[in-house]
A and B are shown apart, each in its own frame.
Chain A
Amino acid sequence: MMVRFVYATLLGLVGAAVVHVVIILLLPLLANGTAWNTVSSLSADSGGPVALEAKAQPRLASSLDPLFRTFGCTFDLADGAFRVTSDVRVPLWTVGVHDTSATAFFSANDRIAAGRRLDIAVVNEFQLRIIRQNPPAELANTIIAPSLEQQGFVVVRVFAPDDTWEPVVESFARSLACSPLEL
């Protein structure tokens, strides 16, 4: 009886470890309310770049700096390569390219961009090969972000500490475009 109990307990503990590992590994794939869910549900309505705001998206609030304006765009590389641009120069922007588990697999800031202008293209392996073989002239100053996944989202953050910066940030936002890239 005692042996049987000890044996069953051991078996249960091993089972618990398996259940634990399975849940931990599946959570990023199955969880609702991830940053990807939030951004994709927002941009499904508008298509273009959407403003990510703490008040409107409380689940993102802890990730948003109130001294920055944050924008998001979703992409699906199965529809073609993807490009995010803005022609307006601002003192500081950062960009993060995230996959559907919200992992930022590529990130940059204005210091590595030519002319400090935001111009980034997200491409899958196939599209990257096309660009490498025949580099388009218009992409000469474009940051290339290779993606292993087809779907994901781009987050752009712009430093906007007070109202005096509002005009330049506003024109940056107006110029911000998320568009398919013809190769």
Chain B
Amino acid sequence: MREFVTILYVLALALGLGVFSANWVTLNFDGMDRLAFGPWVAHPLSGTPDADPYARARTARTGRLALGAGEGTVFWAEMDSAGEPLSGQCDYRINGRMPQARLWTLRLTDPAGQPLPAVNGIADEGLHSRALLHQQDGTFVVTLSASIAPGNWLRLDHDGPVALAASLYDTPVNSATALTNVMMPTIERLGCRSS
């Protein structure tokens, strides 16, 4: 009887803890290739042959389709530069420059990366670098707000947290040598609407 209870205990511990930890880690652990520049996070190796086993498991679990090294890299931001979560009820200013790329796009999503629901039947598809106003010093400013703003503007009016995706296409950021001096723009909160 005592043997039986012991075996049961060992099996329960092994299966329970093993399944729980594998489940948790594929949902929460970012993988070993996590690269952060301020609030911006990229996983340049995920979805490539150099990905670690955790990144592979995560790709399988989420059903994601990563960009290959020759295609580009996506940087995600779920927080502003002060470390506060991005909220759909706040206004933000994105300021600075993107790393070198032939083309980049910037869009708003929910924290899972899904498109935000269309407002008044209009889905905001995002901005891209070929139709962007620049400052005289080559930097750019993008305003995220509910009401239209002069210059580069993305509409942000959403109940709940949001995320930003900056997709860089045909970029040397993917090669390890270029990673040391990557500059990403800052995300500054301007104010929030009280709800």
Interface residues, chain A, with chain B CB atoms under 8 Å away: 4, 8-9, 11-20, 22-25, 27-28, 31, 33-35, 37-38, 52, 54, 58-68, 92, 94-98, 101-109, 111-112, 155, 157, 159, 161
Contact = CB atoms under 8 A, between A and B. Distances in A.
A66 B126 contact: yes
B57 interface: yes
B22 A157 contact: no
A180 B39 CA distance: 45
8 contacts: A12-B13, A24-B54, A35-B65, A38-B63, A96-B68, A103-B59, A104-B47, A109-B70
Contacts of B54: 24
Q: Taking each of B62, B66, B70, B113, which has the highest tally of chain A beta carbons within 10 Å of its own beta carbon?
A: B70
Contact of B125 (A35, A67, A159): A67
A11 B8 CA distance: 12
A84 to B, nearest CB: 14
Contacts of B112: 62
B10 A161 contact: no
Interface residues of B, number: 57
B28 interface: no
Contacts, number: 194
B102 A111 contact: yes
Closest 6 CB pairs of A and B: A107-B68, A19-B18, A62-B113, A15-B14, A12-B13, A104-B68
Contacts of A20: 17-18, 21-22, 25
Interface stretch (B103-111, B143-151, B185-193): B103-111
A25 B126 CA distance: 37
Contacts of B14: 11-16, 18-19
B67 A107 contact: yes
A67 B70 contact: no
Contacts of A58: 114
A98 B66 CA distance: 9
Given A4-B6, A104-B68, A24 B109 contact: no
Contacts of B182: none
B169 A8 contact: no
A28 B60 contact: yes
Given A28-B56, A102-B66, A111-B170, A66 B21 contact: no
B115 interface: yes
Contact of B169 (A31, A92, A161): A92
